[in-house]
């Protein structure tokens, strides 16, 4: 029996990247009451009254405002739930998501 010595021909490297985060965006409309937008932001995104009011006002004035960033799944789930809360009251309130750079 002979001893065989082999040298590895390939190197294995592992590269781990952080998952890309996704923004949740609040979109302005002409019909949803301001106070209802604030209520949804507080309930779904755990904001204080002050934080929620500022985000609502920014969307109202500029057309859109970033609410928060999450992993893709969480961002989509929260955007859907928040949009559904408006729809349940007959409002066109809209939350969307988009990947960060
Ligand atoms: N523009 C709405 C109003 O004047 C309030 C509002 C703000 C609605 C932000 C949606 O994302 C929104 N009643």
| Domain extents in the chain | 31-99
Over residues 69-79, the mean pLDDT reads 98
Class of domain 31-99: alpha beta
Angle, CA of 20, 56 and 46, to the nearest 5°: 60
Averaged pLDDT score across all residues of the chain: 95
> How far away, in angstroms, is 37 Cα from ligand 1 center?
7
Q: Which atom of ligand 1 is nearest to the CA of 59?
A: 9
Q: Render pLDDT for 11-50 as a digit per residue (tens, 0 to 9).
A: 888 999 888 999 999 999 999 999 999 999 999 999 999 9
pLDDT of residue 38: 98
pTM: 0.85
- For the residues 71-92, what does the mean pLDDT come to? 98
Ligand 1 pocket (Cβ < 6 Å) reads 26-30, 32-34, 37, 56, 59-60, 93
Pocket test for ligand 1, best of 27, 57, 60, 95 (most atoms within 8 A of CB): 60
């Amino acid at each position: 029996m002979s001893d065989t010595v082999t040298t590895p021909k390939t190197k294995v490297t592992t590269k781990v990247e952080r998952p890309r985060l996704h923004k949740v965006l609040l979109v302005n409309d002409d019909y949803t009451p301001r106070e209802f937008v604030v209520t949804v932001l507080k309930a779904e995104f755990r904001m204080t009254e002050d934080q929620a009011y500022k985000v609502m006002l920014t969307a109202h004035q500029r057309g859109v405002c970033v609410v928060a960033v999450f992993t893709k799944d969480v961002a989509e789930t929260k955007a859907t739930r928040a949009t559904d809360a408006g729809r349940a009251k007959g409002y066109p309130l809209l939350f969307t998501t988009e990947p960060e750079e």
